[in-house]
């Protein structure tokens, strides 16, 4: 017997004797009621742990029956509380939970919802197979999910649809691996969620249908508004050109100016509709930023001076980043953003100054750590300012500041549209303002520099040459627009035919063989798109493929290309009387087809060109734009001399233009020269609109030159002097 065993035996024998008070032991068992149990007294054992002896002591105490009962009661209460807590947790879970074997046998199950999984209600599933109560396809699907979960060790999630009386019930199942051959399956009723998803989808489809209807409505409204406006502005230009007195010219100028304002208002409303429908598209291109800014500055500097305001601008840089000359951006939207900000600054600044600052700033990308550049545009004024209550809503649609309401100018769309443009271009617009102390608008846009070689050269837009007889076919169902376009073309010396429907246009084209066809897109019956396609198909039949391979348009002389150069049979069939095809008798005819559209947005151009048109002109258009398009597509270099009523040479001599130009800034004259060279009539009139009131003679002279198509005189007189 070991020493430890002998010691334990001795202590056990001594347990029946009263303990020595010196040892501090409890009283003998006879002194306490109940059973006395001695567990150990000063028990020590030797143990080997990491090859060294460790002396461990275990304390001992005497436990009575009362102690055991107290512990049992305590443990029982703790177990009851745990069960209560677990039951409360489980009662809040709407799922059905089952422990299922690989073979699909339920080992344990908790089913709170008796309608789940087609299992029999109020019947224990333990020991039952899922194939006993599920249809074969659902049972096979669940067994496959069990096998997949066990083989991959990953949770499997899928849904099943169960047909209940009067309704379809959707359930989501989650299959989790739980051991080597068992899984825990949780099933939840997701019918309500599916119903919500269905309602959301239906609401989305209704919203999309409403947006499509709204888009179609706005397209119709655009056509119905812009088409008559085309006639109003077009005939207004004719009347201004033929006006005999100064009073008549002033009155017609008022009509034209208000017509242009109405057109801008229509465009703003249409922009708003596209923004709300989430259809705002960008048209990025390579842009000469400095030229764009100079053209804007030349206009607003004169407007500011006319109001007695100081106007300054700067192209600054922050650090080593300079403002690049050429960038890749949406030119039209960028121009509208800057124009709207400067227009508001002049409008709400009765006195003081306006400053335009353009700079490039570097920005650190927080995620990549790289550097990117921003184009920063700031417009600061010393105007009336904006009250603090209006700052939060100033970029909302149809919201005007207090000052705007007092001035009764605009309808609160300019800033809102500009703000949406900036956001769509990936930037942000901020405002700092204080009532009575002016405002500072700041625009930050991602900067994408480009090179000079990537800038597209401006299209040549000179007017046609006199003496050339070219044929034009005008197709438009609106009588006023048809007459207006015909008047413009005949006055320029063209031979013109008309058609008021797509079908008639096809017949006229094959008989008249025009050099250029002006095609309205929206017509009853056959629209312009279909008419264009059928005309081009007929042209391909007239011009056989063999001729395209053997002869180019340049190799065919005008004499051989005329309809009179061959008989009607040869012109249409390409055959001689013996039935043999004779390509050298076949005239080559390839008319240009330009769409006339009331679509207000630039992206319409891509759709029209993709459809097969050679170009498009948006209504309302001007005579200069029409003739410029003709010059561009028919390669006519010189100006037509249209027949005009003879005026008194002393009324508005072109020579007087030089006297008025002496007062104008050099950059303004350069912009006018550029607009004249490009036959850009809207830009010319925009430059004239910025002139102060005392420049009336200069405005009238330039308008006379434009209306009489003497752009060559305007170009010559605004040409900068050679060094």
Tokens representing 692?
């102060």
pLDDT band for 124, please (50, 70, 90 cuts): confident
- pLDDT number for residue 97: 85
Q: Which residue has the higher pLDDT, 668 or 320?
A: 668
pLDDT single digits (tens) 276-320: 767 677 888 888 888 888 888 887 888 888 888 999 988 765 554
Which backbone phi and psi does 58 adopt, to 5 degrees? -120, 125
Instruction: Kindly report the three-state secondary structure assignment for every residue of 572-630.
Output: HHCECCCCCECHHHCCCCCCEEEEEECCCCCHHHHHHHHHCCCEEEECCCCHHHHHHHH
* Range of 40-54, 140-154, 701-715 with top mean pLDDT: 140-154
**Which residues, other chains included, contact 250 with Cβ-Cβ below 8 Å and sequence gap of 6+?**
none
Largest alpha-carbon pair distance within the chain?
Answer: 150
* Angle value at C-alpha 504, between 502 and 509, nearest 5 degrees: 95
What region, left, alpha or beta, does residue 127 occupy, with left being phi > 0 and alpha being psi -120 to 50 degrees?
left
Rounded mean pLDDT of 530-540?
Answer: 92
Rounded mean pLDDT of 702-708?
Answer: 72
- pLDDT number for residue 375: 92
- pLDDT number for residue 113: 67
pLDDT single digits (tens) 41-83: 444 444 443 444 444 444 445 667 788 888 888 889 888 888 7
pLDDT band for 117, please (50, 70, 90 cuts): low
Q: Does the pLDDT at position 122 exceed 80? A: no
Q: Does the pLDDT at position 355 exceed 60? A: yes
- pLDDT number for residue 678: 67
Q: Does the pLDDT at position 505 exceed 80? A: yes
Alpha carbons within 13 angstroms on the beta-carbon side of residue 324 total 18
Q: Does the pLDDT at position 631 exceed 80? A: yes
Beta bridge partners of 328: 286
Tokens representing 437?
């102390």
Nearest to 291 by CA among 458, 436, 469, 127: 458
Instruction: Kindly report the three-state secondary structure assignment for every residue of 644-672.
Output: CCCCCCCCCCHHHHHHHHCCCCHHHHHHH
Determine which of 192-206, 363-377, 642-656 has the lowest per-residue pLDDT on average. Answer: 642-656
Dihedral sign, Cα of residue 300, residue 304, residue 305, residue 306: positive
Q: Does the pLDDT at position 640 exceed 80? A: no
* Angle value at C-alpha 347, between 341 and 350, nearest 5 degrees: 125
Q: Does the pLDDT at position 539 exceed 80? A: yes
Q: Which residue has the higher pLDDT, 650 or 399?
A: 399
Dihedral sign, Cα of residue 673, residue 674, residue 679, residue 684: negative
**For strand 182-189 and strand 167-177, is the pairing parallel, antiparallel, or unpaired?**
antiparallel
- pLDDT number for residue 529: 94
- pLDDT number for residue 707: 64
**For strand 156-164 and strand 167-177, is the pairing parallel, antiparallel, or unpaired?**
antiparallel
**For strand 310-317 and strand 167-177, is the pairing parallel, antiparallel, or unpaired?**
unpaired
pLDDT band for 396, please (50, 70, 90 cuts): confident
pTM over 0.85, yes/no: no
Q: Does the pLDDT at position 566 exceed 50? A: no
Angstrom distance (rounded) from CA 453 to CA 424: 27
* Range of 322-336, 497-511, 628-642 with top mean pLDDT: 497-511
pLDDT band for 184, please (50, 70, 90 cuts): very high
**For strand 371-381 and strand 326-329, is the pairing parallel, antiparallel, or unpaired?**
unpaired
- pLDDT number for residue 472: 94
- pLDDT number for residue 681: 72
For the chain, domains (ranges, CATH) are: 3-67 (no CATH), 93-189 (3.30.450.20), 195-276 (1.10.287.130), 285-454 (3.30.565.10), 654-718 (no CATH)
Q: Which residue has the higher pLDDT, 83 or 345?
A: 345
Q: Is the peptide bond before 620 cis (omega within 30 degrees of 0)?
A: yes
Nearest to 278 by CA among 387, 176, 183, 204: 204
What is the rounded average pLDDT for all residues in the chain? 74
Strand runs labelled E in 153-229:
156-164, 167-177, 182-189
Q: Which residue has the higher pLDDT, 440 or 301?
A: 440
**Which residues, other chains included, contact 206 with Cβ-Cβ below 8 Å and sequence gap of 6+?**
none
Beta bridge partners of 372: 363
Tokens representing 155?
């949770």
* Range of 259-263, 299-303, 436-440, 715-719 with top mean pLDDT: 436-440
**What percent of the chain is predicted at pLDDT more than 70?**
68
CB neighbours (10 Å) of residue 211? 15
- pLDDT number for residue 634: 86
- Local structure of residue 293 (DSSP, 8 states): H
Is the distance from CB of 472 to CB of 497 less than 8 angstroms?
Answer: yes
Dihedral sign, Cα of residue 402, residue 408, residue 414, residue 417: positive
pLDDT band for 162, please (50, 70, 90 cuts): confident
pLDDT single digits (tens) 400-430: 666 555 555 555 678 888 999 999 999 999 9
Instruction: Kindly report the three-state secondary structure assignment for every residue of 446-493.
Output: ECCECCHHHCCCCCCCCCCCCCCCCEEEEECCCHHHHHHHHHHHHHCC
Rounded mean pLDDT of 198-225?
Answer: 79
Which backbone phi and psi does 297 adopt, to 5 degrees? -65, -40
634, burial (CB in 10 Å: exposed 0-12, middle 13-18, buried 19+):
middle
Angstrom distance (rounded) from CA 273 to CA 398: 13
pLDDT band for 23, please (50, 70, 90 cuts): very low
Q: Does the pLDDT at position 672 exceed 50? A: yes
Determine which of 245-249, 493-497, 539-543 has the lowest per-residue pLDDT on average. Answer: 245-249
Q: Does the pLDDT at position 354 exceed 80? A: yes
- pLDDT number for residue 393: 80
- pLDDT number for residue 709: 60
pLDDT band for 172, please (50, 70, 90 cuts): very high
Angstrom distance (rounded) from CA 586 to CA 571: 6
Grouping H, G, I as helix, E, B as strand and the rest as coil, residue 94 is coil
Long-range contacts of 20-25 (CB under 8 A, 24+ apart): none
Which backbone phi and psi does 301 adopt, to 5 degrees? -65, -40
Token pair 């151009």 in the structure block, residue: 605
Angstrom distance (rounded) from CA 121 to CA 134: 13
Q: Which residue has the higher pLDDT, 707 or 528?
A: 528
Angstrom distance (rounded) from CA 604 to CA 638: 30
Angstrom distance (rounded) from CA 234 to CA 111: 80
């Amino acid at each position: 017997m070991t020493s430890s065993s002998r010691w334990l035996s001795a202590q056990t024998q001594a347990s029946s004797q009263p303990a020595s008070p010196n040892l501090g032991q409890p009283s003998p068992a006879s002194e306490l009621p109940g059973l006395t149990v001695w567990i150990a007294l000063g028990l020590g054992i030797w143990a080997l742990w990491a090859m060294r002896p460790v002396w461990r002591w275990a304390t001992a105490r005497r436990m009575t029956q009362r102690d055991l009962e107290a512990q049992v009661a305590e443990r029982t209460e703790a177990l009851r509380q745990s069960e209560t807590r677990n039951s409360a947790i489980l009662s809040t879970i709407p799922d059905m939970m089952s422990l299922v074997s690989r073979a699909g046998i339920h080992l344990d199950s908790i089913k709170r919802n008796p309608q789940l999984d087609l299992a029999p209600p109020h019947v224990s599933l333990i020991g039952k197979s899922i194939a006993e109560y599920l249809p074969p396809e659902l049972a096979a699907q669940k067994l496959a999910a069990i096998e997949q979960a066990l083989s991959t060790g990953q949770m499997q999630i899928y849904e099943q649809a169960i047909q209940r009386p009067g309704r379809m019930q959707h359930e989501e199942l989650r299959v989790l691996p739980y051991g080597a051959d068992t899984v825990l399956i949780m099933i939840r009723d997701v019918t309500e969620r599916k119903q919500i998803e269905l309602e959301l989808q239906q609401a989305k489809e209704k919203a999309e249908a409403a947006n499509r209807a709204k888009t179609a409505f706005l397209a119709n409204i655009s056509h119905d508004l812009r088409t008559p406006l085309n006639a109003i502005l077009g005939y207004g230009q004719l009347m201004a050109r033929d006006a005999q007195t100064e009073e008549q010219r002033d009155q017609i100028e008022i009509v034209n100016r208000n017509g242009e304002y109405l057109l801008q208002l229509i465009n703003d409303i249409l922009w708003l509709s596209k923004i709300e429908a989430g259809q705002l598209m960008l048209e990025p291109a390579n842009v000469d930023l400095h030229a764009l800014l100079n053209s804007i500055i030349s206009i607003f500097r004169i407007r500011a001076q006319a109001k007695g305001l100081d106007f300054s601008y700067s192209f600054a840089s922050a650090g080593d980043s300079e403002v690049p000359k050429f960038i890749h951006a949406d030119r039209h939207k960028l121009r509208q953003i800057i124009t709207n900000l400067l227009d508001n600054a002049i409008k709400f600044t009765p006195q003081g100054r306006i400053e335009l600052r353009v700079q490039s700033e570097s920005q650190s990308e927080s995620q990549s750590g790289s550097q990117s550049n921003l184009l920063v545009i700031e417009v600061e004024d010393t105007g009336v300012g904006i009250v603090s209550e209006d700052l939060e809503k100033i970029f909302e649609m149809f919201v005007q500041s207090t000052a705007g309401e007092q001035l009764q100018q605009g309808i609160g769309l300019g800033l809102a549209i500009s703000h949406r443009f900036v956001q769509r271009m990936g930037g942000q617009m901020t405002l700092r303002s204080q009532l009575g102390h002016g405002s500072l608008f700041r625009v930050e846009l991602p900067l994408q520099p480009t090179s000079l070689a990537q800038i597209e050269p401006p299209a040549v837009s000179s007017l046609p040459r006199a003496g050339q007889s070219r044929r034009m076919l005008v197709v438009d169902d609106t009588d006023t627009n048809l007459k207006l376009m015909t008047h413009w073309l005949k006055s320029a010396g063209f031979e013109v035919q008309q058609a008021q429907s797509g079908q008639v246009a096809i017949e006229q084209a094959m008989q008249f063989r025009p050099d250029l066809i002006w095609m309205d897109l929206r017509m009853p019956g056959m629209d312009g798109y279909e008419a264009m396609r059928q005309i081009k198909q007929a042209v391909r039949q007239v011009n056989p493929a063999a001729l395209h391979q053997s002869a180019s348009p340049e190799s065919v002389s005008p004499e051989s290309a005329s309809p009179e150069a061959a008989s009607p049979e040869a012109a249409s069939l390409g055959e001689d009387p013996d039935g043999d095809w004779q390509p050298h008798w076949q005239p080559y005819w390839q008319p240009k087809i330009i769409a006339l559209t009331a679509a207000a947005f630039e992206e319409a151009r891509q759709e029209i060109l993709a459809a097969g048109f050679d170009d498009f002109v948006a209504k309302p258009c001007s005579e200069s734009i029409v003739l410029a398009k003709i010059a561009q597509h028919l390669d006519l270099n010189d100006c037509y001399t249209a027949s005009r009523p003879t005026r008194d040479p002393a009324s508005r001599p072109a020579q007087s233009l030089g006297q008025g130009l002496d007062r104008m800034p050099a950059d303004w004259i350069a912009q006018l020269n550029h607009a004249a060279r490009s036959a850009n009539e809207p830009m010319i009139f925009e430059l004239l609109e910025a002139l102060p009131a005392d420049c009336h003679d200069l405005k009238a002279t330039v308008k006379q030159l434009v209306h009489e198509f003497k752009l060559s005189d305007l170009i010559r007189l605004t040409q900068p002097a050679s060094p």
